[in-house]
Amino acid sequence: MPTFDIGPEDFLLDGERMQVVSGALHYFRVHPDQWADRIHKARLMGLNTIETYVPWNFHAPEPGVFDLDGRRDLGRFLDLVAAEGLHAIVRPGPYICAEWDGGGLPAWLLADDAVGVRRHEPRFLDAIGKYYASLLPLVAERQVTHGGPVLMVQVENEYGAYGDDPLPERQKYLRALVDLVRDQGIDVPLFTCDQANDEMLARGGLPELHKTATFGSRSAERLEVLRRNQPTGPLMCMEFWNGWFDSWGLEHHLAPAEANAADLDDLLAAGGSVNLYMFHGGTNFGLTSGANDKGIYRPITTSYDYDAPLAEDGTPTAKYYAMREVIARHLSVPDEVPAARRPAPALDVALTAHVPLADAVPALVRGALGTFDHAPTMEELGLWSGFAVYRTTIRPDDAVLTVGEVRDRAVVLLDGEPVGVLDRGSHTFAVALPARAGELTLLVENQGHVDYGPRIGEPNGLIGTVRTAARVLDEWEAGALRAEDAPELLRAALDLADDGGAAASGVGPAAGDAAGVAGAGGAAAAGLHRGTFDSVAGADHFLRLDGWTKGLAWVNGELLGRYWSLGPTHTLYVPGPLVRATGNELVLLELHGAATTGASFVPTPALGVTEQ
């Protein structure tokens, strides 16, 4: 069987020197019908290896559940890598960061305050052992030593940047992870990766494991830092940052292709191996994007284009060709090149059916609302992502609503009418109330668990005491929403309306007629909105929602992700495999209201203003 080893100076594949030239391609950010296309284009750029993280919470969304089907079929993804003649590097965490919800750690696990986060704690290690036992056998059977593509497996991730445990405790934790990995039949080399910083490299690794570094510029200097901490063996940049992620409310990040290419050339010329982060970014579909909080909470956008060589829709960029030219100076590159982007279909969609937000929210509650003597966290409600609803009553003298903290954003309604927003990002934790009694509803959105730093694992929802100017509010009804079921709810409501039950369903008096759901000037109220359209089957689309404020978007029942007029992203990517020739359905959950009742599909993506 083939072998892959870490030699005194080089990686050795079957005893021969191998310079690993890899690219990050996350199967969980790409529609599975497009995996083969993205992998093929990696080979055409000259890559010989594909790297992927594995997000634990993507495969284990609930306690006792482990899913390896469909979008989660890592085995199929690795088989496609092998079929393209490429190798693979797998990075299973347990923590991955990756701007992913919670850095991949399951919220249901960390809901127990007794569970240690990224340290040698029995409950945490026991859960990791079960995770590895469910995942790693499929990796083990695809190792290069078993005739498969997998060259190496990572232990933890940038651990040197986390926590303040003493070094012996940190190494005890890492060695426990090594044992858990090896117990599942992983016999290829294991490695760690940390930023190219002496302290982080020392704190994040083990003497017996190969160390790799992460950086995006000044390659020669960073390799010197790595060599001080890894005296022998090949030098590898495990994350060569050739772009950056975007956060809502900030600019779209770009990294100049020429500078990226020059730094890559320096790295390869020095004999170093590399993993481009990212080769292809993809999309944070659904509710999977994470957030950063370094004093200001910054949720990550739905687009994870990352200014990568291969754009979000899988088309090559100027950076693709600049890096391909560099790689060709050091390795053999195929003659074939991928096709340029073709304009996507352009069309308008009228969203002609509507369920008001006040009617949609109770219909989406998972089971019955529970009663509480405090405002519970989402974790207390058994909710690991998405939306929760909180209800109580107020008096005319309450005047102002204040919360200790909201994680992460809440639409505040009085008797179904909006009165304000609480927002973690802007530290808005108070809202004025009308001077009347009524039912107060808070629709609270988890915009993504923090994925980096000491706030990993914190609870979401309403945090601390909730009070008014007159009193503490200690009588609550609360529950989790099934936001993912919104399109099904809307279809059921429309069916009921067609049967004469419009009033009960909450559908406007003329469901199916735009005039029946429009307000003054053709505006759309908060709630669920639906339209249908015909287009080109199998073609990628770019959904543009100018005039809409904030919410979620579905095409044919698939949750594309969040949209927000805050920007920078102005389009949502719709993978071609989701689109039919006729009878496509677009559904929006709009949290505030819109200046229009229409949406558009446009020819090209619009990722927003840049810092350049």
| Peptide bond before residue 323 is cis, with ω within 30 degrees of 0 | no
Known catalytic residue at 158: yes
Could you tell me where the beta strands, DSSP code E, fall in 196-350? Answer: 210-215, 236-241, 273-280, 291-293, 297-299, 347-350
Rounded distance between C-alpha atoms, residue 571 and residue 569, angstroms: 6
Q: Could you tell me the CA-to-CA distances from 225 to 196, 210, 218, 236 in Å, in that order?
A: 6, 14, 11, 12
**259: closest CA among 222, 223, 219?**
219
**467: closest CA among 476, 480, 479?**
476
Integer Rg of the chain from CA: 25
Length of the chain counted residue by residue = 612
Rounded distance between C-alpha atoms, residue 215 and residue 601, angstroms: 37
Residue with tokens 């994040």: 204
Rounded distance between C-alpha atoms, residue 171 and residue 160, angstroms: 11
Residue 506 phi, psi dihedral angles, 5° rounding: 85, 5
| Catalytic hit among 51, 158, 458, 590 | 158
| Catalytic hit among 156, 239, 312, 590 | 239
Q: 323 is written with which tokens? A: 């890096």
Residue type, 29: R
The long-range contacts involving 11-16, CB below 8 angstroms and separated by at least 24 positions, are 11/151, 11/234, 11/236, 11/273, 13/144, 13/151
Q: 393 is written with which tokens? A: 């009553």
Return the active site residues.
Answer: 158, 239
